[in-house]
Amino acid sequence: MAYSELIKNFENIRDYISQFYVYGFKRRKDYDKKSSRSYDNERRRIESWLGEYMCFTNESDGKSTFLSLDSRTVLHNPLYKAFKAKSFTDKDIMLHFYILDILKNKSLSSSEIADEIANEYFSMFESVKECDESTIRKKLNEYEKLGLIKSEKQGRKRIYSLNECDVDLDKWRDALSFFTEVNPIGVIGSYLLDKFDNEENPFRFKHHYIFNALESEVLYDLLDIMNGNCNAEIKLFSNNMKKIKTYKVLPLKIYVSTYYGRRYVLVWNYLFKRFAFYRLDRIKESCKSNECINKNEMMMRADTVVQKLWGVSLGKENYIEKLEMTVRIANGEEYILKRLEREKRNGTIQKLANGDYKFRAEVYDASEMIPWIKTFTGRIVEIKCSNECVEKQIKEDFEMMKMIYEVR
């Protein structure tokens, strides 16, 4: 098959970018899904969109490719370009311009549109394969669903016309620029920004999780399912990304980690009969199933369950771990106390008689707290945890740090 920069299936590109550029450093020899030519074609497509951000390293076992960019200098998420490389047929592009041109100043039925295309457009060419009315009607229905056109019944005919838009995008440009980079489905704003001739963005982001763009279609489908109060059938990649498991679930909430930028969906898994979190970048696809008749009840149960969450780990079923941390805050370090108050989540803070502060929390999985606890290194007086493994790991990590930095 001849090489093309356009793609039919975004899932293939999403998988390729994830495996080779996000999870990282796979090589040509690791691409085992199709032929080597398929690898070369996918790589060339991505280079055509992201060439200025691609870097290479040569190692003993081959050349590695990865993405490297500075969020302070990138105006917009470059991964949005992949969504705009969808393939199309000659008939698709032809009907697109013909239909929009015909409906620019008038309203017509599908048969009238078909006649005008044949008489006013096809007649200009010596040899062209004409479209029948059913093909044109399908395209009209597609565009109506997209909101490009509208229709109304007049007698026995359905009349189509352009959907007028009186929004002044210039007034919304800054809002669009911000929306595009921070909204969970910011790719929508990216399409609107393409209407401007010059590229600009007054915003810069210190922590910019651009790879979430690859999950936009998955997130959109989940939100659509949740809005319809429906169950879903999701296909989930295993940890090694080689196997796919299918589960019937009830999607309830979307969670976004402010620490890592990862996104998760909280679901009720009907097979295991318990709540679970699934990473969006591990979901291959989600399909709408039957309507859920007790979603409100399940949502109330979920609200109760998440009260004991620190991150997204639900730990062992019906088991709560308790952690206590005593922190010493020196004079002039009131900002540490403010930070403790701001980040305590479901924990509590108590001032002790000697001026120290005790933080207490009851969570499903105390090991999720370890990275956060370490940020108070140098101020921690004592740590206790009902999970001895967590307490042991924290102390061992501190001892290791003392050895590395030769602290006595």
Coil/strand/helix, residue 242:
coil
Q: Tell whether the model's pLDDT for residue 267 goes beyond 60.
A: yes
- Provide DSSP, 309-369: -SSS---STT--EEEEEEE---TT-HHHHHHHHHH-TT-EEEE-TTS-EEEEEEES-GGGG
Percent of the chain with pLDDT over 70: 92
Sorted by where each starts, the structural domains of the chain and their CATH numbers stand as 10-85 (no CATH), 90-162 (1.10.10.10), 169-208 (no CATH), 212-303 (2.30.30), 321-404 (3.30.70)
* Res 1 pLDDT > 60: no
Confidence of residue 230 (pLDDT cuts 50, 70, 90): very high
Whether the per-residue pLDDT at 298 is higher than 70: the answer is yes
Q: How many residues does the chain have?
A: 408
Distance between CA atoms of residues 270 and 248, nearest Å: 6
Amino acid residing at 109: S
**pLDDT tens per residue across span 34-71:** 666 677 777 788 888 888 888 877 777 777 777 888 87
| Chain Cα centroid distance, residue 377 | 33
Q: Give me the pLDDT at residue 401, please.
A: 87
Is 375's pLDDT higher than 60? Answer: yes
Q: How many CB atoms lie under 10 A from the CB of residue 26?
A: 18
Q: Is the pLDDT of residue 345 over 80?
A: yes
Q: Name the amino acid, one letter, at 234.
A: I
3-state secondary structure of 235: strand
Q: Given pLDDT bands bounded at 50, 70 and 90, which one contains residue 241?
A: low
Q: CA–CA separation, 38 vs 44, rounded Å?
A: 10
Over residues 164-177, the pLDDT tens digits come to 888 888 999 999 99
> Is 118's pLDDT higher than 80?
yes
In which order are the strands placed within the sheet that holds 274-279? 274-279, 263-269, 244-256, 230-237, 283-291
**Confidence check: pLDDT of 85 > 80:** yes
Q: List Cβ neighbours of 361 (8 Å cut-off, separation of 6 or more).
A: 310, 322, 323, 344, 345, 346, 347, 348, 369
Give 205's pLDDT tier (boundaries 50, 70, 90): confident
Q: Averaged over 269-287, what is the pLDDT? A: 95
Lowest-pLDDT range, 88-97, 174-183, 320-329? Answer: 88-97
Q: What is the mean pLDDT of the chain?
A: 88
Of the two residues 67 and 83, the one the predictor is more confident about is 83
Q: What is the pTM of this model?
A: 0.84
Cα angle for residues 298, 303, 308 (degrees, 5° grid): 130
Residue-level pLDDT at 207 = 81
If you average pLDDT over residues 346-369, what whole number do you get?
A: 96
pLDDT category of residue 105 using cuts at 50, 70 and 90: confident
Tokens encoding 212 = 């979430």
Amino acid (1-letter code) at residue 371:
P
Cβ neighbors of 387 (< 8 A, separation 6 or more) are: 321, 323, 366, 367
Q: Per-residue pLDDT averaged across 353-359, rounded?
A: 95
- Distance (Å, rounded) from C-alpha 20 to C-alpha 313? 27
Task: Return the residue matching tokens 């909204």.
Answer: 183
CB 98 within 8 A of CB 112: no
Mean pLDDT of 67-78: 82
CA–CA separation, 156 and 51 (whole Å): 54
pLDDT band at 23 (very low <50, low <70, confident <90, very high): low
Q: Evaluate whether 223 touches 252 at the Cβ level (below 8 Å).
A: no
The DSSP secondary-structure symbol of 185 reads T
Whether the Cβ atoms of residue 377 and residue 401 lie closer than 8 Å to each other: yes
How many whole angstroms separate alpha carbon 61 and alpha carbon 63?
7
| Mean pLDDT lowest among 68-77, 214-223, 290-299, 327-336 | 68-77
Question: Are 364 and 308 a contacting pair, CB within 8 Å?
Answer: yes
